[in-house]
Amino acid sequence: MAKTALITGGGRGIGRAIALAFAREGIRIAVAARTAEQVEQVAAEIGNNSIALVCDVSDPQSVAGMFGKLPEIDILVNNAGIAESATLVNTTDELWHRHLSINLSGTFYCTRAALPAMLKKGWGRVINIASIAGKTGAPYIAAYSASKHGVLGLTRSIALEVAMSGITVNAICPGFVDTEMTSRGVERITSRTGRTAEEALNTLKTMSPQNRLVTSEEVAALALLLASDEGRGINGQGINIDGGSVLF
């Protein structure tokens, strides 16, 4: 029987790329996000009875409602997330809690909801989209970096808890990816520094020894390995895909 995968934040960027890659392997796809139009477009693009759902992962009731509309999930990709920047003294309570509630608590709520079916089947994959910011800090992203550090700690703890149950739990840690989120980062740099968009983009590219942005398809290829039977020996890891900018 074909596996079923749920990808949160599945309406664009990395989430969309993972959904498409999984679908090409015959996996049934459910995509969820806060914006109905985006996930409906992805589900229509995939076809094959794909499911589009609206969910706010920071709200446990919304998560419970989403899982109530789904078949049992074999593969969970926790991709929903936000990235905003501010100096620490200008980081408001709202900005701080927004990052923790979406990036970290959202990963917790969805994983907690998905695990019982995986444990019953004796097979499952949880793939958390973290960030190299979850391994190292950077100026102006204290809330984002703290939330992604939390995702790595959560990943490692759950991975050990379910290691004997046929389930693996891993995190992918991308650098700057060629997505809309990075484009918004370029806009922020431009507005704050007066540099051109090209100059701002080149600044982000040079953070990688390969002098380029990672593609969503590269992240999707790694997610596909982690979701496979061949990837069953990979557990509790935070795997970088950043051109070598962070070497641990």
* pLDDT digits 0-9 by tens, 44-81: 999 989 999 999 999 999 999 999 999 999 999 999 99
The whole-number pLDDT of residue 203 equals 80
Q: Using one digit for the tens of pLDDT, what is the confidence trace for 203-236?
A: 888 889 999 999 999 999 999 999 999 999 999 9
Q: What is the mean pLDDT of the chain?
A: 94
| Over residues 86-90, mean pLDDT | 97
- Looking at the structure, tell me whether residues 209 and 107 fall in a common domain: no
- Looking at the structure, tell me whether residues 104 and 154 fall in a common domain: yes
- Give me the active site residues, please: 144
- Looking at the structure, tell me whether residues 191 and 220 fall in a common domain: no
List the CATH number of the domain containing 132. 3.40.50.720
Domain containing residue 196: 177-213
The whole-number pLDDT of residue 186 equals 67
CA proximity to 80, closest of 45, 152, 130: 130
Q: What is the CA radius of gyration of the chain?
A: 17
What's the CA gap between 210 and 123, in Å, rounded? 37
| Contact residues for 14 (Cβ-Cβ < 8 A; gap 6+) | 79, 129, 174, 177, 179, 216, 219, 220
- Determine contact, residues 98/146, Cβ cutoff 8 Å: no
- Looking at the structure, tell me whether residues 91 and 160 fall in a common domain: yes
- Determine contact, residues 239/172, Cβ cutoff 8 Å: yes
Residue 248 lies in a domain: no
Residue 223 lies in a domain: yes
- Determine contact, residues 135/245, Cβ cutoff 8 Å: no
| Over residues 89-115, mean pLDDT | 98
Phi, psi of 30 (to 5 degrees): -120, 125
Q: How many domains does the chain have?
A: 2
Dihedral angle, C-alpha 200, 205, 208, 214, nearest 10 °: 130
What's the CA gap between 8 and 75, in Å, rounded? 11
- Looking at the structure, tell me whether residues 66 and 122 fall in a common domain: yes
- Looking at the structure, tell me whether residues 126 and 61 fall in a common domain: yes
CA proximity to 18, closest of 156, 151, 174: 174
- Looking at the structure, tell me whether residues 80 and 56 fall in a common domain: yes
